[in-house]
Amino acid sequence: MPDKKPEKQNRQGVDSRTLLKRLRDILAEQGEGQERLDKITYIIACSMDADVCSIYLRRDEKTLELCATEGLNPESVHQTRLRVGQGLVGRIADLARPVQSKDAPAAKGFRYMPETGEEVFSSFLGVPIQRLGEVLGVLVVQNREPRVYTEDEVYGLEVVAMVIAEMAELGAFTAEGQQAMAMPHQRPFFAKGIVGQEGVAEGHVVLHEPHIVIANPVADDPESEKKRLAEAFAKLQAEIDRMLKTDQLAATGEHREVLEAYRMFAHDRGWRQRMEASIESGLAAEVAVEKEQSNTRTRMERVTDAYLRERLHDLDDLANRLLRILAGRDGNGADMPDDAILVARNIGPAELLDYGRKLKGVVLEEGSVGSHAAIVARALAIPLVIQAARITREALSGDEILVDGDAGVAHLRPEESVKTAFHEKIAMRAEAQEEYAALRDLPAVSTDGQRIRLEMNAGLMADLPSLEGSGAEGVGLYRTELQFLLRSSVPKRTEQADLYSRVLDAAKGKPVTFRTLDIGSDKVLPYMKRQDEPNPAMGWRAIRLGLDRPGVMRMQFQSLLRGAKGRPIRVMFPMIAQFDEFRAARDMLLEEIRREKTKRHSLPSDVKIGAMLETPSLAFAPDQFFRMADFISIGGNDLKQFFFAADRENERVRRRYDTLNVSFLSFIEQIANRCNDNDTPVSFCGEDAGRPVEALAFAAMGLRTLSMRPASVGPIKRLIRYVDLGKTKTIIDQARASGEQSVRPALEGWLKSIGAPYR
């Protein structure tokens, strides 16, 4: 403890620069964490002429602990604890903003803690100690006599709290055995998210947007800091102007709107002036940017309006860019470890593809199951967890992390016991993989002799190697739009034809079903003008767009016919809702075949033309439709969303209705019967076909072909080969007859009783 108190400041202004310099000296000195905190509370109390200064740090997610105090009873240090939200201190942590009171004991929410002896102090001012929107603790000053703290004092204390947060990040306050004083990024963190792609991975964090660690949060020379900030702004503005000019982006579309918003923010005087004011009070330029970023993030957590949230995200991204420029770290220059697990707020499909197979796993704070990034992760067979709240704030580059894509969770900086359990899981999975490999060349035949054809879904060249590895018998759904989605302009006809040709080469004679462009709804091409539709999933998408703007579809037909190079192909149209749409699209394709013939181009040896059944209406189309279609593929993802009127992308309702709901299952059965009655081959290619129990139920309902992600072929084949499909049907029928809402309990109960591998 310093033996001589520095001179007291007058109340009108805290000399924050001098105070910050003292803090910096404390940071530079050798010493224990506790000693540092004690000194800090002491010098803040002196320079603010406060009777009390206390620092509360987060002990865990929900609790704050008094870690140092000047003025309160020293015995209460590490004894007094509060829940976040409780008392004035807890409220500050909860709201992430300052709270003051002239008469604290009488203030609403005040919580009396007798052990501290604080009842004699009337006035209270507390500010959050936060970094990048995350509250690490609370800094409080108190005075005996009732008084109001000036705006300058509040601001000054906030600036001090910023420096304390940076010091905490640098590990300045760690102490053996004191949980609240552990470095913020050293505790284990469990992130509960959602399954994006199954699989497990163990490795080290690579942050898509790396954190900048600020070694010196206090600046000596505000003028030179302001100059650095000005230069960084100039660079940022030039970067955005360059992005707006590059021909990578078309003149219209969403990207441009985002960049225009960026440009506006980058020129926003208020934003920059606030940073300059922080620098004036003694902060380094980086910390001044982070202070603004903290405010943005706090606001982001409270705003519910989607548009406003997006704009706040833009502002957050810009602050990240500024920080990187200031730190001289433009771009993702960090070396990738061999076992890289990518952690990001969100990521675009093209960016993810750039990282490619170098990644062992991906954890996203946002994202959705149907997003393009999720599709790419699936194609690359990388375990993916989405919607893992707080992960980008908690993770630091190089942290150990376990990704459990099966459960949709990630363990950051795991404890030994968690690691042991995880290793057991990896070993069990490896055993199962061996079992699937042994089945690879065997057919999926049930014990009562029913043969089910198992195919795989694909959309990228990267998918094709799985055809051989998984034992799939063909590609039941090739999503051609991915080639379009990953590019910045429409791929040329030769490029398309080349891709289709390479896909057929890779399939080595196994059949491939190409689905024509399925865009619109969630699949918006970066170079396509965004349609302002109130309900895009039911809007102008897929075949509707293809028929209304036939140019692109025609070009795709030509590419398919030429890419086939004389081999047989299968073509199907997405989102056919009525017979006429199928007839019109089919006529267009037949017309193109005729034209190619006239031009004496070589033609595929056979062209099968089918429809995707993704709207309930098509199940009730006339028999003529079923007879005209060479095959039908049930797009269960869309069909289910329209059947239950539940958005497939909306996490609130997505899982509300079970696929094994008797209504849906009976509907699938009806479709299978109609197709069988008309001799129309039918398959199911939605995600549910890749889930063992669902796949089994579909097979029992009469579907003989299922198309799924490659990793599902093994588990589903193993289950089908284990069961009697006739008996499965009986179990389902009994459950239906008994008035159950879903046949799942009955079916899973039975599978369990016979020891079937259904999980």
**What's the token pair of residue 195?**
């399954």
Query: Which of 589, 578, 450, 560 has its CA nearest to residue 498?
Result: 560
Binding flags for ligand PEP, 477-506, as an x/- string (CB under 6 A) = x-x---------------------------
Please tell me whether residue 520 binds ligand PEP under the rule CB under 6 A: no
Nearer to Mg ion, 88 or 629 (CB): 629
- 18 binds, options ligand PEP, Mg ion, none, Cβ within 5 to 8 A by partner type: none
Q: Per CB under 6 A, which region of 164-172, 401-409, 632-640, 658-666 contacts ligand PEP? A: 632-640
Q: How far is the CB of 353 from ligand PEP (least distance, A)?
A: 18
Please tell me whether residue 203 binds ligand PEP under the rule CB under 6 A: no
Nearer to ligand PEP, 637 or 670 (CB): 637
Q: Per CB under 6 A, which region of 310-318, 421-429, 629-637, 649-657 contacts ligand PEP? A: 629-637
- 222 binds, options Mg ion, ligand PEP, none, Cβ within 5 to 8 A by partner type: none
- 685 binds, options ligand PEP, Mg ion, none, Cβ within 5 to 8 A by partner type: ligand PEP
The backbone region for 109, taken as left when phi is positive above 0, alpha when psi lies in -120 to 50, beta otherwise, is left
Binding flags for ligand PEP, 579-618, as an x/- string (CB under 6 A) = -----------------------------------x----
> Who contacts 704 (Cβ-Cβ below 8 Å, separation ≥6)?
451, 452, 453, 681, 682, 683
**What's the token pair of residue 234?**
């100039």
Which residues make beta-bridge pairs with 54? 69, 140
Report the 10 Å Cβ neighbour count for 697.
25
Q: Whose structure tokens read 């159950």?
A: 740
Nearer to Mg ion, 282 or 635 (CB): 635
Residue from 518, 581, 592, 669 binding ligand PEP (CB under 6 A):
518
Q: How far is the CB of 484 from ligand PEP (least distance, A)?
A: 13
Cβ pair 684, 636 in contact under 8 A: yes
Q: How far is the CB of 670 from Mg ion (least distance, A)?
A: 20
Long-range contacts (CB closer than 8 Å, 24 or more residues apart) made by 272-280: 272/229, 272/233, 275/229, 276/226, 276/229, 278/159, 278/162, 279/219, 279/222, 279/225, 279/226, 279/229, 280/222
Cβ pair 376, 353 in contact under 8 A: yes
Nearer to ligand PEP, 294 or 516 (CB): 516
Please tell me whether residue 393 binds ligand PEP under the rule CB under 6 A: no
Nearer to Mg ion, 558 or 707 (CB): 707
Q: How far is the CB of 694 from ligand PEP (least distance, A)?
A: 13
Nearer to Mg ion, 526 or 635 (CB): 635
3-state secondary structure of 192: strand
As a whole number of angstroms, the distance between CA 395 and CA 82 comes to: 26
Nearer to ligand PEP, 488 or 637 (CB): 637
Nearer to ligand PEP, 627 or 655 (CB): 655
As a whole number of angstroms, the distance between CA 577 and CA 572 comes to: 13
> Who contacts 33 (Cβ-Cβ below 8 Å, separation ≥6)?
172, 173, 174, 175, 178, 181
Binding flags for ligand PEP, 18-57, as an x/- string (CB under 6 A) = ----------------------------------------
Please tell me whether residue 635 binds ligand PEP under the rule CB under 6 A: yes
Nearer to ligand PEP, 304 or 535 (CB): 535
The 3-class secondary structure across 32-73, one letter per residue, is CHHHHHHHHHHHHHHHCCCCEEEEEEECCCCEEEEEEEECCC
As a whole number of angstroms, the distance between CA 374 and CA 636 comes to: 18
Q: How far is the CB of 638 from Mg ion (least distance, A)?
A: 4
Residue from 637, 670, 676, 742 binding ligand PEP (CB under 6 A):
637
As a whole number of angstroms, the distance between CA 123 and CA 149 comes to: 8
CB burial readout 468-495, b (16+ within 10 A) else e: eebbbbbbbbbbbbbbbbbeeebbeeee
**What's the token pair of residue 30?**
């050798």
Q: Per CB under 6 A, which region of 25-33, 68-76, 286-294, 633-641 contacts ligand PEP? A: 633-641
Cβ pair 17, 281 in contact under 8 A: yes
Q: Per CB under 6 A, which region of 66-74, 549-557, 631-639, 731-739 contacts ligand PEP? A: 631-639
- What is the binding site for Mg ion (CB under 5 A)? 614, 635, 638
Q: Per CB under 6 A, which region of 60-68, 145-153, 586-594, 630-638 contacts ligand PEP? A: 630-638
As a whole number of angstroms, the distance between CA 240 and CA 114 comes to: 56
Q: How far is the CB of 747 from Mg ion (least distance, A)?
A: 26
Nearer to ligand PEP, 22 or 691 (CB): 691
Under rule CB under 6 A, which residues in 401-460 are in contact with ligand PEP? none
Nearer to ligand PEP, 363 or 612 (CB): 612
- 686 binds, options ligand PEP, Mg ion, none, Cβ within 5 to 8 A by partner type: ligand PEP
As a whole number of angstroms, the distance between CA 666 and CA 660 comes to: 9
Q: How far is the CB of 155 from ligand PEP (least distance, A)?
A: 52
Number of residues interacting with ligand PEP: please give it, by CB under 6 A: 10
Q: Interface with ligand PEP by CB under 6 A: which residues?
A: 477, 479, 518, 614, 635-638, 685-686
